[in-house]
Amino acid sequence: MNIQDLRILNQKDLIFMTEHVINRCRQRNIKPKDIRNAIDNGDIIEDYPDDYPYPSCLILGLTISQKSLHVVAGSNGEFAKVITAYYPDPDKWEHDLKTRKVK
């Protein structure tokens, strides 16, 4: 999976969010446009090629208001699904927000 393919799906409005994801994002004060923006300007920081039912990845991008956002998305190449989105917790991520802290 690569970010360019996800950006193309994003531009074609082929990235979907389940009702569960939408509700969780509401609780976290994350809007769908923030997720779309993070995909458009972000980078893949972790790849999960063996995820089921589709390979997925973790993206670090920016919201509309320029806050760092993590988005997990899976894709079959024809469309993508957002699995979750959250603001990175500095207790769990290094300063770059790309590297997990060792426990």
Query: Amino acid identity, residue 56?
Result: S
* Across 76-90, average pLDDT: 96
Query: pTM of the entire structure?
Result: 0.94
Q: Where are the domains of the chain?
A: 3-86
What fold does the segment set 3-86 form as a domain?
YaeB-like fold (3.30.2310)
1 pLDDT exceeds 90?
Answer: no
d(CA 65, CA 48): 28
8 A C-beta contact, residue 42 and residue 71: yes
8 A C-beta contact, residue 35 and residue 80: no
Task: Quick: pLDDT tens for 38-54.
Answer: 999 999 999 999 999 99
